[in-house]
Amino acid sequence: MDSPQNPVTATIPTEPIGSIPRPPDLIRAVAAGATGQVSRQQLDALYQAAVHDTIARFEATGSPVITDGEQRKYHNFATYTVDGLPNLAPDGFVLQFVNHHRQWPRLTGGPFRYGQYADAYLEDALRLARVPVKQAVISPSALSLMYPAKPLAGYPREQFIEDLLREHETEVRACLARGAHSVQVDFTEGRLAYKLDPSGHLLNSFIFLNNMALGNFSAAERERIGVHTCPGGDCDSTHSADVDYAELLPSLFELKAGNFFIALAREPDREKVLRLIARHLKPYQRAFVGVIDPLNPVVETPEEVRDRVLEAARYIPLHQLGTTDDCGFAPFSDDTSTSRDTAFAKIEARVKGTALAAAVLAGRAQSPQV
């Protein structure tokens, strides 16, 4: 059954996920820098130029909330926290996509510490932005995959988890304190967990671990914390799109967060997913549903977005509904499958289409009842 509509508010919130494709000159320079052909100073200048351009173009889309495009996250959205640390080996967990793979580093010894916290990126973005800025961070469960199957001598997994949770909480609190509009915890491994372990034990352990961190925040703080789930998005490929959302969503909404950013535009049966969201979404949670498919090179029209929002509004109470993109446009820094122009065109379509849907719904609410 479709849910009854609540009174329509003036707007439907809309937010991006995070990453924007890096400029080609930055991608080339990062590769050259790894071989010592480009200096740190030259790289820093290119990073700064990329952030400045990203924020300017983001604001030009009319997006009410932006990110820095994750331009400074070296390599990817997940391991930016540990890049360059000495107690790592490159042969860790393999994240298998449909047509390629990415590899996590493996922890070789303790203690576990972040080498980089995301609030440094946020500080840089806030100096440039004229609208609210959200900050994406990686989940504890994703980083837990760095610990090897065989326990490390002198550094048991229990101590690693304690250190990991402390570092994650430190990062989230720093972002909130610096003035992030919200902090988004990237949980792309949620759907993947069920693929790796159909018993559900791995997924349950991920939910438990992330809740150990989220439980340390107050209810007011959790209103500014969100969780993003998707089947992956890298080089026009996914890692777990074949997993039924019914295996994830009941557990997902057990996470102690106020907002959920849920990939939806690419789903073959969106209405089935919307029914699941409506069934499991708690009264104090908001679902930002994906209305843009970053893996499709065709730019959605505002009217297509409008219709996807109206579809979602049939199931999700309007005071709990928002819109987003299914995934970041380049979670891995060397991904060139989508251009910056395409990414920003899609974001603009999301912003305009969401506004069109809000206007339609407001008009319906104001029409005399027959």
Q: Which residue's structure tokens are 């995070």?
A: 18
Question: For residue 368, what pLDDT is reported?
Answer: 59
Tokens (6 digits) for 132: 């609210």
Longest Cα–Cα distance in the chain? 73
Distance between CA 105 and CA 123 in Å, rounded?
27
List of domains in the chain: 24-366 (3.20.20.210)
The sign of the torsion formed by the CA atoms of 98, 275, 364, 9 equals negative
State the distance between the two ends of the chain, measured CA to CA, in whole angstroms: 22
Look at the pTM and tell me if it is higher than 0.75.
yes
Residues 349, 306: Cα–Cα separation, whole Å: 9
Give the pLDDT score at 369.
Answer: 55
| Residue 34: per-residue pLDDT | 75
**Contact between residue 290 and residue 265 where contact means Cβ atoms under 8 Å apart:** yes
For the record, the structure tokens of 13 come out as: 């919130």
Q: What pLDDT, on a 0 to 100 scale, did the predictor assign at position 211?
A: 98
| 20 C-beta neighbours (distance < 10 Å), count | 27
pLDDT value of residue 364: 81
Distance CA 291, CA 348 (A): 12
Distances (CA, A) of 304 to 269, 316, 356: 16, 19, 10
Please state, as a whole number, how many other Cβ atoms lie within 10 Å of the Cβ of residue 84.
Answer: 10
Q: What is the 3-state secondary structure (H, E, C) of the chain?
A: CCCCCCCCCCCCCECCCCCCCCCHHHHHHHHHHHCCCCCHHHHHHHHHHHHHHHHHHHHHCCCCCECCCCCCCCCECCHHHCCCCCCEECCCCEEECCCCEEECCEECCCCCCCCCCCHHHHHHHHHHCCCCECEEEECHHHHHCCCCCCCECCECHHHHHHHHHHHHHHHHHHHHHHCCCCEEEECCHHHHHHHHCCCCHHHHHHHHHHHHHHCCCCHHHHCCEEEEECCCCECCECCCCCCCHHHCHHHHCCCCCCEEEECCCCCCCHHHHHHHHHHHCCCCCEEEEEEECCCCCCCCCHHHHHHHHHHHHCCCCHHHEEEEECCCCCCECCCCCCCHHHHHHHHHHHHHHHHHHHHHHHHHHHCCCC
Per-block average pLDDT, block size 10, for the chain (370 residues)? 45 96 94 84 94 98 97 91 95 94 96 97 96 98 97 97 98 98 97 96 98 97 98 94 97 98 97 98 98 97 98 97 97 94 98 97 72
Cα angle 181, 182, 184 (rounded to 5 degrees) comes to 150
Give CA–CA dist 264/228, Å, rounded: 12
